[in-house]
Structure 1
Amino acid sequence: MNTLARLLGATALACVLPLVAVAQDLPQTKLSVIGSPVNSPNWTNVLQPFWNETVPADSNGRVTANAVSMTDLGAKGPELMRLAASGVADIVAGSTTLISGELPENDSIDLAGLAQDIDTLQKIIDAYRPTLEERYRERLGVVPLGFWPTGAQVLWCATPVEGLDDLAGKKVRVFSTTTSSLTAALGATPVTMAFNEVVPAMQRGVIDCAFTGSNSGNNAKWTDVATHLVDLTVGWGVNFIVANSKTWDALDPAVQTFLRDEVRTKLEPAGWEMARVATQQGIWCSVGDDRCEPESTAPRNLTKAGLKLVELTEAESARLREIVAEHVMPEFTQACGSDCVARWNETVGTVLDIQLNAAR
């Protein structure tokens, strides 16, 4: 049994007895749900078992869902929030990275380079969650139920890299505006490129490096063309799960409470553990570490390769923090506005001991 399977088994057993009495009082409820790409670890190991097994079991069959992957519907990531807001589905799960243009606050919890470890990310999300819950309903017409990461987005290079200084002059594939700002500040040239174009681009020398998840890069066989893996985390691919506000408000209060509790105690813990496993195993397998467990992120098994792992020195980590403060944060404050910055300072800023100045 792999690491993630053990986690999901433990999660399914948690809090069973208290839910039995609650489940008997729930009205029969059927929901439509759209989730992550089919066969992704997030869909297979977190969302699908949650809706198809955990929720029906914990509600004694009173709450059920027709859960389909966005792949099955031919939907794209940027469309998901609009599908939820329009009521095409009752509940939708997707990535905040792909909908950053919908709401500036989406970037506030996953600014490039801000959280170099998953524990810091969790503190950031916990602190800013009430603000997101308010803004999602006001601006997007949805009720957020949960947030969890996909895994660390790190740097894969097809040319020798020993540290941050070696990135100067290199062409680097990026996936967000804040990642682009960070890359440029390191002296590299940011290049926007589709995920499936990266391998041939590296092979032809069109780009030197590219950012993506430690596990997703391995799954996509970036290990065939990359030679170095730089443990420089520029993001975590935070996922959201939201309900259409009209649908949610029409649900029986007992069902609302049940679903919130299920997401908080079952779905989110499974998602966070999946991210921890995927991040560490993605790195270990890509660099040939003996701790590599290729089946730990099934159904997309990892490949054990021999890339060189490049870890930042303390001096480089300090320099990275300065770059984030001087180049990434000002761009965020410009897009976010004074009220948004004030809320960030009161929440995330307090946790990280950082205070931003609103753009003038």
Structure 2
Amino acid sequence: MKITTGLSALAVSLSFAASAAQAEKWDMALAYSATNYHSEIAAEFAAEVTANSELEIVTHPGGSLFGGSEIFGAVRKGLAPIGERLISALGNDDPLYEVDSIPFLASSFADARKLYDASKPSLVETLEEARLHFLYSCPWPPQGFYTAEEATGLDALSGLKFRAYNATTSKMAEGLGMVPTKIEAAELAQAFATGVAQSMISSGSTGYDRKLWEHVGFYYDVKAWLPRNMVIVNGKAWNGLDDATKETVTKAAATAEEKCWSKAEELDAWYVSQFTENGMKVGTLPAEIQEAFEKVGAELRADWEERAGDKGRAVLEAYEGMK
């Protein structure tokens, strides 16, 4: 009897030890399709962490775990330990999140990287205040203008239903006489197919992923700005990791970030070439519309500087000092 009891206790002890030794699992919420380069690089990041630590990360692309608009809140509340979110969509939380989407402030990859470097310290600090840990940030290609019909002049834009994904795009639409409507990336094809959206500003990546040439006839290479996504971790989940695992995750994040910047630049021209191959007309905006875009952009920058205050001005000064 004593032997049996002893063996049972040993079995229970070994069971607990085995459970403790098992890898912790994190489900990573992603908004974009599995074939989008953001999701592909996130999957590579997850695989690197899983292979080199006791932490297993499993990605859930296409909004399958949480929709794009839900991911930031889900990570902050601990409903998901890790996730990726478009930074500028969070402008209602803090104007600093919108800095990468100020029209025509940084229209090239080189300038966008400088703006990221200038804003990163404040971004990390702002996230820490929200009990979130920053891992890496990945850019989208420069934003272009999509329209179902040819944009011949400002009159052609009046009343168009414009897909907006953040406050900047909503305000830009209004300034140009269009009607903004909030639509997440996963819903784009249906929105254009049903007439809920007739135009938008977004990257070539978004248009390619959603095969928008099936619903949209024109793409104008405006290069308005280069927005970024960021990968964040719930603060409590991060603090629960041991130092060795934190180091592995941080190293994998740095690798993912460099891959992502390179991939975005590599794909930029290719995406646009695919539009042409699939029947879309690609070109530049008429001068009247381009000037109107830039005028509204200047107004939005002034508005952002006022809302962002000293913290925002410090970021812009740091950025200008890098140019």
Sort the TM-score into its range (normalised by shorter chain): 0.7 to 0.9
Tell me, which stretches of 5 or more residues in structure 2 are unaligned? 1-20
Residue number in structure 2 paired with 1:343: 314
Residue type matched to 1:276 in 2?
Answer: E
- Return the offset for 1:144: 0.6
CA distance in 2 between partners of 1:204 and 1:35 (Å): 28
- Return the offset for 1:80: 1.6
5 Å matches for 1:114-153? 114-138=105-129, 140-153=130-143
Count of aligned residue pairs for this structure pair? 300
Residue number in structure 1 paired with 2:49: 55
Residue number in structure 1 paired with 2:15: none
The alignment status of 1:306 with 2:279, answered yes or no, reads yes
5 Å matches for 1:218-297? 218-264=208-254, 266-288=255-277
Residue number in structure 1 paired with 2:10: none
Residue type matched to 1:105 in 2?
Answer: L
CA distance in 1 between partners of 2:70 and 2:188 (Å): 23
- Return the offset for 1:178: 1.1
CA distance in 2 between partners of 1:259 and 1:201 (Å): 37
3-state DSSP of counterpart to 1:39: coil
Larger Rg: 2
Residue type matched to 2:284 in 1?
Answer: E
CA distance in 1 between partners of 2:188 and 2:238 (Å): 40
Residues 70 and 76 in structure 1, CA contact (< 8 A), matched pair in contact too: no
Residues 72 and 83 in structure 2, CA contact (< 8 A), matched pair in contact too: yes
Residues 215 and 281 in structure 1, CA contact (< 8 A), matched pair in contact too: no
3-state DSSP of counterpart to 2:102: coil
CA-to-aligned-CA distance 1:179-237 (integer Å, 9 cap, x gap): 2333344x331321435776676567776522233132233232123222101134434
What is the TM-score when the length of structure 2 is the normalising length? 0.78
CA-to-aligned-CA distance 1:93-120 (integer Å, 9 cap, x gap): 2221333322221101222343222221
Residue type matched to 1:183 in 2?
Answer: A
CA distance in 2 between partners of 1:323 and 1:72 (Å): 32
Rate the CA distance shift 1:150–1:279 in 2: closer, same or farther, 3 A: same
2:40 pairs with 45, 50, 57, which one?
Answer: 45
CA distance in 2 between partners of 1:56 and 1:200 (Å): 36
Rate the CA distance shift 1:160–1:170 in 2: closer, same or farther, 3 A: farther
Residue number in structure 2 paired with 1:297: none
Residue type matched to 1:115 in 2?
Answer: A
Query: Over aligned residue pairs, what C-alpha RMSD do you find?
Result: 3.2
Would you identify which runs of 4 or more consecutive aligned residues in structure 1 move more than 6 Å? Answer: 203-206, 313-319
Identity of aligned residues (%): 17
Tell me, which stretches of 5 or more residues in structure 1 are unaligned? 1-26, 289-304, 353-360
CA distance in 2 between partners of 1:224 and 1:141 (Å): 42
CA distance in 1 between partners of 2:49 and 2:274 (Å): 33
